[in-house]
Amino acid sequence: MSHALIVIDMQNDFCPGGALAVAGGDEIVAGINARMAKAGAVILTQDWHPADHTSFASQHADRAPMEVIDAPYGPQVLWPDHCVQGSDGAAFHRDLDTTRADLILRKGFRREIDSYSAFFENDQSTPTGLEGYLRTRGLTRLELVGLATDFCVAWSARDAARLGFDVRVLTELCRGIDLDGSMARAIDDMRAAGITIG
């Protein structure tokens, strides 16, 4: 059975010039497009927040971007406003080959909870529906690429492994934010979870 390529959050706001730019985020677009040819299914995720999303520092008095707060569902990094529904920042990078996508999965659309993972919101229990989609299509092997390695890619990969999928993260086709050592931690955690790296 062929594998699914899951392309995480290849959106303008995560690329240079965007609101939450990941260094080198745009460098991986061509490689991701090329990788689509090897996959039996291509799935794109799209971070998709209302303008008053709780993950935005702008929604909290006296808080600055990159600070961490205790949300009801656990620690939450406060981000600059990004990927606001319908905005240019939320659009896919213009060179990403979106025509190959079988499914575009939006996440983070509920105001009161963030969703890094493509599988669960940040309470780690509210499903996005992606697990059912993959299982009903018989897709058990997953390749993950995209942005950011240490947040949405890592959270998606760890959830996928926990759900029993066979997961590989192609780090050359990912770029990270690296907040207080989050890159090294994410790679270690993924390896410990049995995820193939590289």
Residue 165 binds which one of ligand VGL, Zn ion, none, with CB within 5 to 8 A depending on kind?
none
Minimum CB–partner distance for residue 20 and Zn ion (Å):
7
Q: Is 107 a catalytic residue?
A: yes
42: closest CA among 79, 115, 95, 97?
97
Q: How far is the CB of 41 from ligand VGL (least distance, A)?
A: 21
Residue 148, contacted partner among ligand VGL, Zn ion, none, CB below 5-8 A by kind:
ligand VGL
Residues that bind ligand VGL (CB under 6 A): 9, 14, 47, 79, 116, 147-148, 151-152
For residue 123 the two structure tokens come to 């309470």
Structure-block tokens of residue 54:
């709780």
Please report which residue ranges of 96-145 form alpha helices under DSSP H: 130-136
Nearest in space to 16 (alpha carbons), one of 173, 147, 128, 131: 147
123 part of the active site: no
Question: Could you give the count of Cα atoms lying within 13 Å of 63 in the half-sphere of its Cβ?
Answer: 20
Q: Does residue 47 interact with Zn ion by CB under 5 A?
A: yes
**What residue type is assigned to position 186 of the chain?**
A
Shortest gap between Cβ of 136 and ligand VGL (angstroms)? Answer: 26
Q: Alpha helices, DSSP H only, in the chain?
A: 29-36, 130-136, 154-162, 182-192
Nearest residue to 93 (alpha-carbon basis) of 13, 21, 148: 13
- Determine the distance from the C-alpha atom of residue 170 to the mean position of all C-alpha atoms in its chain, rounded to a whole number: 14
CB nearer to ligand VGL: give 147 or 157: 147
Whose Cβ is closer to ligand VGL: residue 37's or residue 184's?
A: 184
Say whether 38 is catalytic: no
Taking the least distance from each CB to Zn ion, the nearer of 30 and 69 is: 69
Q: How many CB atoms are closer than 10 A to CB 36?
A: 18
Q: Please tell me which residue in 15, 26, 81, 107 is annotated as part of the active site.
A: 107
Instruction: Tell me if 150 contacts Zn ion by CB under 5 A.
Output: no
Q: Which range of residues in 40-48, 64-72, 89-97, 178-186 is near Zn ion by CB under 5 A?
A: 40-48
Q: How far is the CB of 108 from Zn ion (least distance, A)?
A: 5
Interface with Zn ion by CB under 5 A: which residues? 47
